Amino acid sequence: MILCIPSVLAPLESAECRKLLEEALWEDGRATAGHQAMKVKDNMQVPGDHPAAHHVGAVILKALASNPLFMSAALPLHILPPMFNRYSGGQTYGTHVDASVRTMPDGRRIRTDLSCTLFFAEPEEYEGGELIIEDTYGAKSVKLNAGDMVLYPSTSLHRVEPVTSGTRLCSFFWLQSMIRSDERRSLLFDMDIAIQRLTGGLPDQPLVHEATTQLTGVYHNLLRQWAEM
């Protein structure tokens, strides 16, 4: 499932974070690339221990914790601290797949089930820079407004097209979901959205209440059966 989540950060919040990032120290992104990725990666990144990375990362994680669409779709168990990259002057990141295991700051290793990219520059500010995600239905091109985020399976082949003018500024990070299977996670997401629509959009009638209660029970029993903690 590839899901675009609008307005993870409000405009003012996004602008403040962007200012901090633009004033931060940037280094060659290949410093954090694996052997294969190093051959196709050409961008700049903020070092993980930079104060701006810590501050903006905390802002993002706080916003996600209160975002019902993200929580419903991702069912997160562990989220890696957000990282930040910048592309300009023709920089690109060729087709690759993300590492299957990442290390948390405390040394714990987590499985990367979902990848996240949150945009800080508006689409009209730069040429190129589309995130191309390949799935079973073909390739999807993603280039979102500042403050919006895309969530997609970490198993997907993906790339960032060359940025031919302007600057593309984003956050990227990974998470381990309570639900390992993308297919099961998608089913639970669809069911959760249906429940929310029923409870929010229909009159308060006994039969409606009874049906939504039963459906909610099915959702939680499936989550209880499939969740890995």
Closest CA to 21 of 33, 13, 30, 31: 13
Is the pTM of the predicted complex or chain greater than 0.85?
yes
Rounded-to-integer distance, Cα 12 and Cα 8, Å: 12
Residue range 22-79, pLDDT digits in tens = 999 999 998 776 667 778 999 999 999 999 999 999 999 999 999 999 999 999 999 9
- Phi, psi (rounded to 5 degrees) for 195: -60, -45
pLDDT digits (tens, 9 = 90+) for 157-187: 999 999 999 999 999 999 999 999 999 999 9
